[in-house]
Amino acid sequence: MHKNKSSLYAYAVGIAETGMAAYSFLSTYFSSPTLPPRLPSPNRLPNSTLPLSRDFSHRSLRSTCIVASLGQTYHSNHSPAPESTNCCILNKFLDSLVVLITSAALSVSIFVTDVDSAAAFVVTPSRKLQTDELATVRLFQDNTPSVVYITNLAARQDAFTLDVLEVPQGSGSGFVWDKKGHIVTNYHVIRGASDLRVTLADQTTYDAKVVGFDQDKDVAVLRIDAPKDKLRPIPVGVSADLLVGQKVFAIGNPFGLDHTLTTGVISGLRREISSAATGRPIQDVIQTDAAINPGNSGGPLLDSSGNLIGINTAIYSPSGASSGVGFSIPVDTVGGIVDQLVQFGKVTRPILGIKFAPDQSVEQLGVSGVLVLDAPPNGPAGKAGLLSTKRDTYGRLILGDIITSVNGKKVSNGSDLYRILDQCKVGETVSVEVLRGDHVEKIPVILEPKADES
């Protein structure tokens, strides 16, 4: 395009200079007393406004002055000769020639300008990425080596040969926690597995052993024997200061597709979901519209700095695919659980040792609290003297104690009770306020760990 522009411009200049040179030659040649040209007015030089070259301007000025002086003398002493008519015609021809050449040169110049202006509006696709795109690409490249692919293998016996085979029954994601080979994922990803395999970002696969798990919070820790140079722990952030609208990134292996990135924002905070294993509520869950599909479970949710802020756990979708509402367990909750699992292989979470009625049943009674259905005598609540719901000899239902507060914190439903207990420790004595019949009592209870964790 630039070569064509330069050629056209040089061609236009050449036309103009050639025309001016021809005009100068013919003007000088015909400027004699015998053939006087058509004279201009004394105050106007021919084509004085044209962009002539310096040499041509001096030559034309000298020739015009000579012609003008000779022409005045000639006209004062002689009457018009027949040849003067031919000279006037020739002058008109020369003027017309100059006008024609100048017009051609200007037309070519305008054409070149128009072509160049049109070319300015032709948008050339840029291969450069914007600043936010570069940040996203860098975040994915930096954190992908920390994300792993987990395959859940279950032992199945063939009905005909009776051979025991390992059949993949599910898959999910996880991430490297430390250089010791600890991998963090969801408990429901590894539930029911006879063997587990972890595939790193470089496609190397290792057999994994279960270090421990917390069914109530849907968190599990695995361990692989991999070289330290292949393990890149994910940077851990903070989830306490998250804001709705904050940009987040989810990396995982949805539908078995290797290392997929989805983006979105935090669309809600302090949500509550139920554990897939025990049904116990998980509080303070992060809600995001970043696409989370089957296979994303156990993968990391990152902030714009590339720090871990949650574990992708569940989606809300009738069809089983992403509908724009996903949930992640906050990293502040996960961190304490992982530390206990790595150190002790279990989580010592305190319990009251009761079974309570569904919240809807208590609402129908017109009271607020948690109705105790069963308090085993060997459990913390049974030892403290809490009463269970039972029937008398006539089959009439006698309601047990209704827990209304713990340590002065109001208990309206089962979620409130779990939330308060999560803030307590094993061996701690709590004051449980109960509604027994038509009066209120406060009963001290010593919290104990779950029976299968002691």
The pLDDT of residue 368 is: 86
Q: Give yes or no for residue 434 having a pLDDT over 90.
A: yes
The pLDDT of residue 288 is: 92
The pLDDT of residue 422 is: 83
Asked if 218 is an active-site residue, the reply is yes
Q: What is the DSSP letter of 290?
A: S
The residue among 395 and 59 whose pLDDT is bigger is 395
The pLDDT of residue 88 is: 60
The pLDDT of residue 395 is: 82
The pLDDT of residue 140 is: 92
Q: Which of 24, 31, 216, 218 is catalytic?
A: 218
The pLDDT of residue 93 is: 62
pLDDT category at 296 given cuts 50, 70, 90 is confident
Predicted TM-score (pTM) of the model is: 0.62
**Highest mean predicted confidence (pLDDT) among 66-70, 254-258, 409-413:** 409-413
The pLDDT of residue 385 is: 92
The pLDDT of residue 303 is: 93
Please provide the average confidence, as pLDDT, over all residues in the chain. Answer: 76
Out of 12-16, 52-56, 209-213, 429-433, which region has the weakest mean confidence (pLDDT)?
52-56
The residue among 169 and 257 whose pLDDT is bigger is 257
Q: Give yes or no for residue 316 having a pLDDT over 50.
A: yes
Q: Give yes or no for residue 109 having a pLDDT over 80.
A: no
> How far from 215 is each of 187, 242, 271, 400, 417, CA to CA, in Å?
6, 25, 19, 28, 18
d(CA 206, CA 239): 31
Out of 167-176, 207-216, 233-242, 270-279, which region has the weakest mean confidence (pLDDT)?
167-176
% of the chain with per-residue pLDDT over 90: 36
Q: Give yes or no for residue 185 having a pLDDT over 60.
A: yes
Q: Give yes or no for residue 134 having a pLDDT over 70.
A: yes
Asked if 27 is an active-site residue, the reply is no
Q: Which of 84, 188, 216, 405 is catalytic?
A: 188
d(CA 279, CA 330): 18
d(CA 310, CA 145): 17
Please give the structure tokens belonging to residue 102: 């100048």
pLDDT digits (tens, 9 = 90+) for 337-347: 999 899 888 88
Q: Give yes or no for residue 72 having a pLDDT over 70.
A: no
pLDDT digits (tens, 9 = 90+) for 274-290: 887 777 888 889 999 88
Cα–Cα nearest to 209, from 228, 182, 187, 177: 182
The pLDDT of residue 85 is: 54
Does residue 352 contact residue 433 with C-beta atoms inside 8 Å? Answer: no
Out of 60-69, 235-244, 385-394, which region has the weakest mean confidence (pLDDT)?
60-69
Q: Give yes or no for residue 267 having a pLDDT over 50.
A: yes
DSSP string of 217-270? TTEEEEEE---GGG--PPPB--STT--TT-EEEEEE-GGG-SSEEEEEEEEEEE
The whole-number average pLDDT for the span 218-239 is 93
pLDDT digits (tens, 9 = 90+) for 368-384: 899 999 999 999 999 99
Asked if 274 is an active-site residue, the reply is no
Q: Give yes or no for residue 235 having a pLDDT over 90.
A: yes
Q: Which of 31, 60, 84, 297 is catalytic?
A: 297
The pLDDT of residue 35 is: 44
The pLDDT of residue 58 is: 43
The whole-number average pLDDT for the span 101-127 is 53
The pLDDT of residue 98 is: 61
The pLDDT of residue 345 is: 87
Q: Give yes or no for residue 313 having a pLDDT over 60.
A: yes
Residues paired with 167 in a beta bridge: 154
